[in-house]
Each structure stands twice: as C-alpha cells, then as structure tokens.
Amino acid sequence: MELPRLQTLHEAYREQGLKVVAVEAFHETERATAFIEAKGLSFTLLENGADDADVVRSLFKISGYPTSLLVDREGRVMYAHLGFDLGDEVALEEEIKNLL
Amino acid sequence: MSRPIWQCLMLGLVAVACGCGQQPPENPAEAAYATFRDAYLDAGSRAEQVALVESFVAEHAGHRNAAYYATDIITYYARDLGQPARAYDVVEPMLSRMTDPGPRLYLAAELAPVAAEIGRPLDLGPFIEAVEAEGPLSLDNRETVMSAACKVGDWPLAAEHAEAVLARATPEAWRADHPDREFSDEEVAKRAQQWRVTALPYLGWAHYNQGRTDEALELFEQADAERVDDYVGVSPQPLDRFWASALLREGDAAAALERVSRDAVFGDRDQALPVFRQAWAAVNGSEDGLNEQLWQARQRLARPIDDFTLPDYDGRQHSLSDLRRGKVLLLAFWFPT
C-alpha cells in the first residue's frame, strides 16, 4: 500500500487500536525523509538495518514493494498484500475492521 | 491480473522503481514520464489512473515503462468493468507502437487471455521472436509466456517454454547463459534452482491437461520438494493452485481444498479463490459456509509475526513487540520512488 494511503488508515483507525509501522528497505535516508515530510506522514517510520541487521530481506524475505502485513492483537499475520493497485485499500480496510 | 500477482507486481514495481528514481529527467519523454508518474500516484481512482495511462501511452508508447502501466488498462476494462472487448480495442493497437520487446511481450501476454475470451486469439509468437532477436529469453520472459499459455489453454506452448527453462536450469548451463554475472557457486546453484521451481508447476499443469497425469503429479511433487516460499508460506509460483485443480479433477476435493487454502487466504486471491470455492463446494455439497471456511483457514494458517528492533529517523530504537503491544498492526515495507 502506498504510504499516503497508510496515513489515511492511520488517522481513521488509530483510536480504535490500529498501529501503522513502515520500514524503508534500502537506506534511502535522504529521499525517504524528504518524502515523509512532503506527505506529512505521522505514523511510525523505521529504517531497515544493513547486512546482518537487514530484517526486510533476511527475516521477512521481501522482494517486492510495497508489501504490507496485517497482524492481529495476538501477533498472528492475518493478511498479506503486495502492490499498490487502487482499490486494494478497500479490501485492506475491511480486513482492518474485521480485526479491530 | 493474469499472471502470478506477486511476480507480476514485482516486475512492474522494479521496472517502475528503477526507471524513475535514479536520474533527473533529461529529455522530453522522461520529463513527461515524471509528470505522469506523480499524477498517477496521486490519482484518486482507477478510472483516473487509466485515463492518465492512456494519454501517456498515446504520446510515449516507446517509453520503457509504458507496457507495465498499460496492464492497468486491461485490469480496469476487462476485470473492473467487465468489458474485455474494450480492453482489447484500447490495448491491442498500443502493442505495435511499443519498441521495447521485453515489456511489449509482457503486455501482449497480459492481453492474451482477454483476447481469447472475446474470440480474437492473440498469437504471442511474433512478440516472443522479437525478444529472442535481442538475446535469449530471460526467466521472466519465459514465465510471462508460460503463464499466458496456461491462461489460454495453449498447453504445447506452456510445455515448450517450461522445458526450455528446465534444460537451462543447472548451475553449468546457468553460468554459461550469464557469463557477465560474477556469482559464487552457491548463488549460481540458487538461481538454477529458482529456474527449476519456476518451470516445474507450469510443466506439470501443461502435462496434466495433455492427459499425462502421472508425470504431472510427479512434477508437482518435485516442485513441492524444492519450493521457496515467501514469509507467509505462499509459493511465488502457481504450484498449489495448479496442483489443487488437478486433485479436484482427480476427485480428491478434500486434498484440493487443503492444497489451495494458503493461496486463497494469503496468496494470489483472484486466481486461487475460484479453485478454493470449487473444492469447498465439492467437499461440502454446496457453497454454503464459504466465508466461514476461508476465515477458519486463515486462523489455522496464520503464522506469528517475528520481532525486530530498528531505528526511527531520530535514531531511537523501537522493537516491534513494544510498538504493536495489544494493537492490530499494519506493517509495511517500502522504499522512496
């Protein structure tokens, strides 16, 4: 899901208990921070580690971007989504409502 | 989407990402592309995006990313609006104006099932030959063709390309085909295996549909033994969906249901859900309780999220377990384009 769409979900559901976290995968620090500022993103934004600390590829085996995982309150991955097709956020929002 | 969605999006996204971030616009086409891309990402609906894509491709069909975006047109008209003929009429003329043979093959392959659906079959032959004229087909090219061939039921074409991949899927052949890649033996072996696991499901499914059932089931077993799944246990290839479809036709609906469950809840839902639905109807006697069944499959197959600790942009460390404590978590991986 594109980050500005995550911001919308963050604003709509944080009070009901949704936590949005995005990890930037490639250490594009300058471009990432510029983008975050330009889009006014206020959810939790983290930066991937390098080499042994690379959680995006080594732990999550992510190879396509953007990828989103939806995790329930018990810590189970209940939904996985790759890509940024418009309309996908409708399905994702439904899943979020199911889990909240 | 007419090929494995994860693969397809990855291809598209990597192409898009590589195309736009690395250098400033230096010619009118790049400037137009940059303007188009920003508008595309800001668009509020698929209709709006498709209008942007149509006008961009009309002017810049030669742009290397034009074909990837043009697949949106197919998705929108053929799937969202249920107008396959319109998708064909808009996209087919674009093909002859595209100059980059790889992306053009990809678009032609996306269009092929729609073309077949409206009784105007699209011959992929010339598009394949155009890529071959520039060099051997890549694994992505082959997968594009195998996937389209399976969609339109051209089993000899699917088998031909799967066999061609398997013939080159040894470390020795892979190294000979990629003399410019300086990879270790371990990396080469991994890539050769990737070629194998990519081709095996398609060959199995092609063989199954050619009446070679035993060989097909053996190929699925082989593919299963070598599969490399993603984080949620989904194979990037349509192995489980093809295998489940075969099991269903062999009369083992329970095994088919089990086989396709993970794809139906975590994988390429568009493709896997119809197989899940058929298998459930066969097991259950009707489609009643389908959604409940999907929900149960999800509960059963969901894996626990791993924990990690990473810094934010102020340098503060955060552990995921602290961040998500007691909450529903939406975790996204991204990079700036």
Contact criterion met (CB below 8 Å) for B40 and B49: yes
pLDDT value of position B225? 95
B215 Cβ contact partners less than 8 Å away, ≥ 6 residues apart: B204, B207
Residue contact B313–A99, C-beta within 8 A: no
The minimal CB distance from A66 to the residues B266, B328, B332 is found for B332
Question: How many CB atoms neighbour CB B16 within 10 A?
Answer: 19
Q: For residue B23, give both structure tokens.
A: 């250098």
Contact criterion met (CB below 8 Å) for B94 and B70: yes
Whole-number Cα distances in Å, B12 to A75, B102, B155, B159? 31, 12, 26, 25
Mean pLDDT score across all residues of chain B: 90
Residue contact A22–B326, C-beta within 8 A: no
Instruction: Report yes or no: A94 at the B interface, CB cutoff 8 Å.
Output: no
B121 Cβ contact partners less than 8 Å away, ≥ 6 residues apart: B112, B115, B152
CA of B29, closest CA in chain A: separation in Å? 23
Residue contact B323–A44, C-beta within 8 A: yes
The amino acid present at B121, given as its one-letter code, is P
Q: How far apart are CA B76 and CA B46, in angstroms?
A: 7
Q: Which has more pLDDT, A91 or B87?
A: B87
Band (A81; pLDDT cuts 50, 70, 90): confident
Sign of the Cα pseudo-torsion (B159, B161, B163, B166, in order): negative
Mean pLDDT of B137-144: 94
In 3D, which of B116, B114, B54 has the Cα closest to residue B90? B54
pLDDT value of position B8? 37
Could you tell me which residues are beta bridge partners of residue A70? A79, B330
For the domain that residue A63 is a member of, what is the CATH number?
A: 3.40.30.10
Residue B10 has pLDDT above 70, yes or no: no
Residues of A within 8 A of B327 (CB-CB) are: 17-19, 73
Instruction: Report yes or no: A40 at the B interface, CB cutoff 8 Å.
Output: no
The minimal CB distance from B334 to the residues A55, A65, A72 is found for A65
Q: How far apart are CA B255 and CA B115, in angstroms?
A: 33
Contact criterion met (CB below 8 Å) for B337 and A25: no
Nearest residue in chain B measured CA to CA from A9: B330
Q: How far apart are CA B247 and CA B52, in angstroms?
A: 43
pLDDT value of position B2? 34
**Residue A47 belongs to what H/E stretch?**
strand A44-47
Q: Which domain holds residue A89?
A: 3-99
pLDDT value of position B17? 42
Mean pLDDT of B166-181: 88
Instruction: Report yes or no: A41 at the B interface, CB cutoff 8 Å.
Output: no
Q: What percent of chain B has pLDDT over 90?
A: 80
Residue tagged 């993970």 (tokens): B262
Mean pLDDT of A55-75: 90
Contact criterion met (CB below 8 Å) for A10 and B320: no
Collapsing DSSP to helix, strand or coil, B184 comes out as: coil
Residues of B within 8 A of A57 (CB-CB) are: none
Most confident of A83-92, B43-52, B173-182: B43-52
Q: B285 — alpha (psi -120 to 50), left (phi > 0) or beta?
A: left
Q: How far apart are CA B36 and CA B52, in angstroms?
A: 7
In 3D, which of B35, B74, B72 has the Cα closest to residue B53? B72
Band (B316; pLDDT cuts 50, 70, 90): very high
Q: Which has more pLDDT, B302 or A66?
A: B302
CA of A68, closest CA in chain B: separation in Å? 4
Collapsing DSSP to helix, strand or coil, B74 comes out as: helix
Q: Which of B146-150, B191-195, B244-248 has the lowest mean pLDDT?
A: B191-195
**Residue A32 belongs to what H/E stretch?**
helix A29-39
Please list the alpha-helical segments (H only) found in chain B.
Answer: 5-21, 28-42, 46-60, 66-74, 84-95, 101-117, 125-132, 139-152, 155-167, 171-177, 185-209, 213-226, 239-249, 253-266, 269-284, 290-301, 320-324
Q: Which has more pLDDT, B28 or B329?
A: B329
Residue A85 has pLDDT above 70, yes or no: no
Mean pLDDT of B138-163: 96
Please tell me the total count of domains within chain A: 1
Residue B227 has pLDDT above 80, yes or no: yes
Q: Which has more pLDDT, B311 or B4?
A: B311
Nearest residue in chain A measured CA to CA from B1: A85
Residue contact B13–A75, C-beta within 8 A: no
Q: Which of B108-112, B122-126, B265-269 has the lowest mean pLDDT?
A: B265-269
Mean pLDDT score across all residues of chain A: 89
pTM recorded for the entire structure: 0.87
Q: φ and ψ at A86, to 5 degrees?
A: -60, 145
Residues of B within 8 A of A37 (CB-CB) are: none
